[in-house]
Chains A and B, each alone.
Chain A
Amino acid sequence: MKFLNLLRKELKELFTLQMLISLALTVLLFVGLGTMMSDAVDDAVEASGTITICDQDQTDLTEAIIDLMKTTDTNGNGTPDYEVKTVDITSADYAAELKRLDLSEVVIIPKGFSAQVEANQKADVEYVSALTSSSQMSNLSIGSDTAIAFLSSAVKSALYEQKNMTMEEITLLEAPLNTIETTVVGDNSAEASSSSLISIISMQSMFVPLVVFILVIYSSQMIISAISTEKINKTLETLLSAPVSRLAVLSSKMLAAAIASAVNAVVYMIGFNKMMDGMTGDLLASSNGAYDSVMSQLGLNLSFGDYALLGMQMFLTILISLSVSLILGALAKDTKAAQTMLMPIMILAMLPYMLTMFVDIKTMTPVLKYLVYAIPFTHTFIASENIMFDNMSLYWGGFAYQVVLLIICMTVAVRIFTSDKIFTLTLDFSKKHSAKKKAFAFGKK
């Protein structure tokens, strides 16, 4: 009985309203993320049923392969498995061609394909895709993979029809196609696999959002704790009754937190950079610098100026999280409330952090897209991608939005700090107040 009473008391202390709210918010966060990501998955599934192909060879063999693609009905329900779009690509400027045809990817059967098959040679096939984002689900190419599989199997069938196969022919049968992949970024194109590029970009740039996430949480926690602790310990009352301006107290707190965050940012970035060098160094070395030159050709390498833009964006984010935390810290009545105050910032940071890892936000439905853009931290998570893929209007739009938001948050924070509200405003999660009690919940004895 004693044990049960003890257990009940412990559970009552742990399962507070704050905890239940944070649990509910966590569930909402993941449900929201799932909903947003399901749109991206639906798009990918829809795209997987579409094959875009350009037949530059135009022989009986290639036409037969394309007909087979169009008529394949594995389910036997009278509906073809794939929607096959044939397009004409006349120039080698694939970036311009994709833009003209409004395509993100295309499989090209080049001239001489059938001749190579007849001559028992590996047949060339070109796969061109536009890289627009570094998120994992933005560059799925199921339709094109299917087209290449069709071509591969068609070539195998052609070879099967020949008799007295040599060892070379059997080897050829195992890998009958020589796929030449071209990746387009903006107006530039280079012969490289988009999936390999995404892997390299992801590995190289994964630490930037991670550092942003850590910084937002770290700086917020610092300032919430600094303000709420001073308020709870009444050291703030002592300090503000001394002949010192409130703005000096406020700005010293913010500057100290910003410096501590910047030091942390530098340490984390150096650490992650070293870690990623260890992980990707061998990979890049084995390609003899080939990918490095491809990245430069596609404009995917960040210059010093790009890093400066990224730094500005990160600093702005830290200032926003500090000013929001200042407001939240001023609302905290006790230590538990101060911990709970971190929750909204955590959610606002986690949502875009996780979304940008998997989904290209630009491709989301307008309502969801603008909802995600309304979260100020989103613009920092997508800043490196925007700079990399030359979406500078989106970068500067996000930057301007963050500046406006910072001015609003700072104005509110300064008003709270320079008025009675720093002592009278409280958000109390711990008690259910009656209306009468509420009237007296304004910081007085």
Chain B
Amino acid sequence: MEPVLRVSGLSKQYKKGIYAADNVSFEIQKGEIFALIGPNGAGKTTTIRMISTLLQPTEGDAAVDGFTITKEPDKVRQNITYLPDEAGAYKTMTGRGYLQFMASMYTDSKEQAAEYVRRAEDICGLGERLKDKIDSYSRGMSRKLLLARAVMSHPSLAILDEPTSGLDIINALEIRRMIKDLAARGMSFLLSSHNMLEIEFVSNRVGIIAKGKLLVCGTPQELKEQYGVNNLEEVFEKVVNASEVS
């Protein structure tokens, strides 16, 4: 079966000789939740930004639903949504206004846009507060709104950078369940997170990246067995420390 996302030798050089991402390759299948984890400055965001068509790769390519990011970025954007880490929303808009605005970016059909907004309203659970300006929202409320926006159009691939940052335990659990539920219904996810518990709970497969290179890839269980440890945090520590030594 054709993967939803195929990343092949993706590299990004910001300055000559300095690779932020170096020959990164992985795949995400339909309905799969793939987590890209790594220390700060490892190249996670650069890789995610290239897949989101925000940055041009120096070498390599990636394809979403068969459309490549280098040759068909417009078509790729129709099949993905991206939620950056610590992203904000337009503070002068109301929550509903923001959802309507973003829905209009994904479809020209008014009915379709209204359907997206209805879906997002259900997902975010902000109720009457959607009538208020985003300026008055707490960080958690803003994050829920943005997450709802990211999945409302049912993209083939939702790219979420630190999806639950700023959320309390209950809200974070809700979001994780929502991601799993949407994946079960066929949506694929590329996540990035520093929360190993979250990764272990939510993701089907994990890729650990350091110094721009994707070092290991597998299910949380496979990785724990491979490194003979009890949790993903210890896997992460071993992999990253080994990369520092090399």
Contacts and interface: CB of A to CB of B under 8 A. Distances in A.
Given A444-B41, A445-B41, A235 B80 contact: no
A189 to B, nearest CB: 58
B106 A243 contact: yes
B26 to A, nearest CB: 19
Contact of B78 (A243, A420, A424, A442): A243
Interface stretch (B44-52, B123-131, B195-203, B220-228): B44-52
B14 A424 contact: yes
A234 B106 CA distance: 18
A237 B54 contact: yes
B82 A237 contact: yes
B77 A242 contact: yes
A440 interface: yes
Main secondary structure of the interface of B (DSSP, over half): mixed
Contact of A234 (B40, B43, B81, B87): B87
Nearest to A233: B88
Main secondary structure of the interface of A (DSSP, over half): loop
Contact of A241 (B42, B56, B80): B80
Interface in A226-259: 233-235, 237-245
Given A235-B87, A444-B46, A445-B44, A242 B20 contact: no
Nearest to B90: A235
B15 A442 contact: yes
For chain B, the bracket of interface size reads 35 or more
B216 interface: no
B175 to A, nearest CB: 17
A235 B92 CA distance: 13
B31 to A, nearest CB: 22
Contacts of B106: 242-243
Given A234-B87, A445-B44, A445-B45, A240 B15 contact: no
Nearest to A248: B105
B54 A240 contact: yes
Interface residues of A, number: 21
Contacts of B43: 444
A235 B40 CA distance: 22
Contact of B105 (A244, A444, A445): A244
A393 interface: no
Contacts of A440: 18, 41
A245 B52 CA distance: 14
Contact of B49 (A233, A235, A239, A423): A423
A439 B18 CA distance: 8
Contacts of A439: 14-15, 18
Nearest to B51: A241
A445 B49 CA distance: 11
B68 interface: no
B160 to A, nearest CB: 12
A287 B245 CA distance: 91
Contacts of B84: 234, 237-238
A204 to B, nearest CB: 39
B105 A423 contact: no
Contacts of B102: 238, 242
B52 to A, nearest CB: 4
B232 interface: no
B113 to A, nearest CB: 13
Interface in B59-107: 74, 77-78, 80-90, 102, 105-106
B88 A420 contact: no
Contact of A238 (B15, B46, B74, B82): B82
Nearest to A422: B54
Given A439-B15, A442-B15, A444-B46, A243 B54 contact: no
A241 B86 contact: no
B14 A238 contact: no
A419 B55 CA distance: 7
Contacts of A245: 74
B53 interface: yes
A442 B87 CA distance: 19
Interface string A204-233: 000000000000000000000000000001
Given A235-B90, A245-B74, 12 more contacts: A233-B87, A234-B88, A235-B89, A237-B54, A238-B82, A238-B84, A241-B77, A241-B80, A243-B106, A439-B14, A442-B15, A444-B41
Interface of B: 14-15, 18, 20, 40-46, 49, 52-56, 74, 77-78, 80-90, 102, 105-106, 146, 149, 159
10 contacts: A233-B88, A234-B85, A237-B52, A238-B146, A239-B105, A241-B54, A242-B77, A424-B55, A440-B18, A444-B20
